[in-house]
Amino acid sequence: MSWEIEKIDNVAVVRMNSNPMNIINESFFDDLNEAFATLESDHAENPVVLTSSQRAFSAGLDLKYHLSLFTEGNKEEIWRWYERFRGALLRVFTYEKPVVAAVNGHAIAGGLILALCCDYRVCVNSGARFGLNEITIGFPLPSAIAQIVLYALGAEIAQRVITTGFLYEPQDALKLGFFNESFKQEKLLSHCVDFAGQYNPSLIPGYAFSKRALRHEAVENIKGICTEIDRKLPETLCGQGVLESLGNLLGSLERKK
């Protein structure tokens, strides 16, 4: 595991460090699952702060890796990938201790969804952009992932940000409810540790029960009807429209380098 876990007072601070932009691929899934297994075994009574040691919180999916996967056209393999992706996000969304996101840099697409899985979210107040830009790159948002966005943002804002695909500066992202607060970079982590630290071990059982109750419907939908809907996802992902859009985007990014 390349992620670092440091205990500060009674808070477990998790620093994501899978790659320079924390793009999401198989290694990222492995790191996330190992980190949360370590939290469950070694920090069972501690609230969590999730942040990044890189300049981005997470820039979303690894486009080169996923374009290759989708181009191969193996629908069962694409489904297995999706189950790993959904499972990694659910691991954060259903983690029963308080999870505070200290979003220290860009959080885009899957990176923002990862932040939305957390209970309380604080972003840096400058120098970063946030948004769900999947639709602008031709990428379908799975039903299970939409449930997380709906839970975190409500139907009206979720509809707006998903269907427009805009990226937002910190203050606009704050107004939309992506985040609860924003702070200067140098104060961000310490504020999040202080906020998480209010949940001492005696409060954790009650917190866990309440969190299960609040997220029960969304989790049941994700594991139930959303699975049926998302079974058609691999067909879309290896379709010509998605492959062409991702190919054009990657070509544009390569030319800019």
Residues 50-68 pLDDT 10s: 999 999 999 999 999 999 9
Residue 216 Cα distances to 110, 140, 219, angstroms: 22, 25, 5
Query: What's residue 255's pLDDT?
Result: 82
Question: Beta strand pairing status for 167-168 and 130-131?
Answer: antiparallel
Residue 119 · residue 99 · CB < 8 Å: yes
Query: What's residue 2's pLDDT?
Result: 87
* Structural domains for the chain: 4-201 (3.90.226.10)
| Rounded Cα gap, residues 106 and 180, in angstroms | 16
Catalytic residue among 40, 134, 181, 220: 134
Residue 119 · residue 100 · CB < 8 Å: yes
Give yes or no: 134 in active site: yes
Q: Is 9 exposed, middle or buried (0-12, 13-18, 19+ CB in 10 A)?
A: exposed
Query: What's residue 212's pLDDT?
Result: 97
Query: What's residue 1's pLDDT?
Result: 67
Q: Which two tokens stand for residue 166?
A: 């805009």
Which regions in the chain score pLDDT beneath 50? none
